[in-house]
Structure 1
Amino acid sequence: MSHVLITAGASGIGRAMGAAFEAAGHTVWVTDVDGAALAELPRTWRSRQADAVDEAAMAAVIAEIGTLDVLCANAGIAGPTALVEDIALADWRACVSVNLEGAFLVAKHAAPAMKAAGRGAIVLTSSTAGIYGYPNRAPYAAAKWAVIGLMKTLAMELGPFGIRANAICPGAVEGPRMEGVLAREAAIKGMTRDAVYAGYAAGTSMRSFVTAQDVADMAVFLGSDAARLVSGQVIAVDGHTENPDPKF
């Protein structure tokens, strides 16, 4: 039985990943800080309440799993939506910590387990903000760029042991987190939420947001034998972003 661990797997993209991996025949393990959301997960999943930046908790979960076949380092927070000069250092650090250090810590402890098995796939959730940068999202963009650098290094270090690493870069994903971003950006720009939404969609060649399922499907592919020689890659699931700062 193949085992997958998904951090921040109790809602949004992470929960969609869990459902997709289970449908593909994997045993699903999930960590999340939200105990209430964990309680609502399917009973077939194995879950632990843990903060992605709690190294001891991440190490304990991986030790409990034993043989880990796929790691989805998915934990992240949106961080502040503000001009760089208006961002508090504490907010910057919190955003970078969860998005970057969370990925580092779980990968750090997954690597020895995967080396021992001589196989494995690591999928890190970055963002199109990690490809283009985004106005009003400095800490988030900086962290997501760094996640790609971490992924490239993991791919080089772990490839000789039969372990692959790739990064998925979702674009604007339908859901509560993006709704918060839209509301904050609308307030900054003095616009309606719908106008900001339309601007984001217009910044893609396919004129569309993506769904959590779109991202989950890519994660399952990257974790599968069909992607056995796909490593070190940055793969956007975004409807092809043409302009990360659409002019309204």
Structure 2
Amino acid sequence: MKRRVLITAGAGGIGRAMGEAFDAAGFGVWVSDVDEAALAACPDGWETRRTDVSDEAAVEALFAEVAGKWGGLDVLCINAGIAGPTESVENVALADWRACLGVTLDGAFLTAKHAIPLLKKGQAGSIVVTSSTAGQYGYPNRSPYAAAKWGVIGLMKTLAMELGGDGIRANAICPGAVEGPRMEGVLQREAAAKRMTRDQVYDGYASGTAMGRFVEARDIADMAVFLGSDASRLVSGQVIAVDGFTVNPDPKV
């Protein structure tokens, strides 16, 4: 029987790259997302379901369907999150703060809560949480995002403690700046806020790493597959950056 992975926000970006990497590694793949068009474009053979991870009833229904079709789960990738506003703390609207934490942090909690019974059935498994380098250093003008990404690390470490006796591991991946449409939106918003060009902001992010470059979604996906495999069987409670080594989290251009 194939090992089984479920990935939230798995129909595009990092999540889609994770699905493709797990598929190539021989896993059965299930992805949830709110983007119905992206779900429809997923490869044949993947299981899909539209799910808003901030809605507990929707998350509960997702895992009820997983239980009915698969009976259990081997790897859970908690990947859903939103960028939130690009504003200084004093200018962040409470509604925007709550929306960001609602998807990124509440969604991580709800996903873990309803997946754990399926993971426990096998008395083994792996939970991979997508955090961010913003969850290690902070992030000027992105307070809701940074708070949420710090929060999911605390959740991950608690899961690792609670579930270790059941043979279940939990780890967090902290991507740096990832090439793609989502980061492009961040670049454009930061350029406007800082009165800089998009390329200046891009170069600032890249120069803030030892390797002087952005990462790609496949780099994150490869780490997720490693953390979901037996090769990492005693790796738990860890925060692993895939970012080219951030040496200056707030570079000034």
What's the CA shift for 1:63? Answer: 2.6
Determine the C-alpha separation between the residues in 2 that align with 1:144 and 1:241. 16
Asked if residue 88 in structure 1 is aligned to residue 89 in structure 2, the reply is no
Is contact 1:62-1:68 (8 Å) kept?
Answer: no
The 2-side partners of 1:4 and 1:101 are apart by: 21
Q: Deviations along 1:24-46, whole A, 9 cap, x unmatched?
A: 00000000001011111101111
1:165-180 counterparts in 2 under 5 A? Answer: 165-180=170-185
In the alignment, structure 1 residue 14 sits paired with structure 2 residue 19: no
Q: CA deviation at 1:62?
A: 2.0
Q: Which moved more, 1:57-66 or 1:30-39?
A: 57-66
1:221 — aligned with what? 226
Q: Deviations over 1:176-215 (max 9, x none)?
A: 1111110011011111000100000000000010000000
Q: 1:10·1:38 contact (CA, 8 Å) conserved in 2?
A: yes
Aligned equivalent of 1:232: 237
Q: 1:110-136: per-residue Cα shift (whole Å, max 9, x none)?
A: 111111220110000000000000101
1:43 partner letter: D
- For the 8 Å contact 1:171–1:210, the answer to whether it is kept is yes
Q: State the partner residue of 1:146.
A: 151
SS at match of 2:174: strand
- What is the one-letter code of the residue matched to 1:8? A
Amino acid at match of 1:75: A
2:189 to 171, 175, 184: 184
5+ residue gaps in structure 2? none
Shift of 1:72: 0.2
CA distance in 2, matches of 1:120, 1:107: 12
Q: State the 1:57 CA deviation.
A: 2.1
* RMSD between superposed Cα atoms in Å: 0.7
Quote the offset at 1:54 in angstroms. 1.9
**How is 1:1-248 mapped onto 2 (pairs within 5 angstroms)?**
1-65=2-66, 66-248=71-253
With structure 1 as the length reference, what TM-score do the two structures score?
0.99
Amino acid at match of 1:41: C
Instruction: Show CA shifts across 1:86-111 (max 9, x none).
Output: 11000000001111011110100111
Range that drifts further, 48-57 or 215-224:
48-57
Partner SS for 2:49: strand
Cα distance per residue 1:203-232 (max 9 Å; x no partner):
000001000000000000000000000000
Structure 1: gaps (5+ residues): none
Measure, in 1, the Cα distance between the counterparts of 2:64 and 2:226.
Answer: 25
Deviation at residue 60 of structure 1 after TM alignment:
2.3
State percent identity of aligned pairs: 73
Which one-letter code corresponds to 1:228 in the other structure?
R
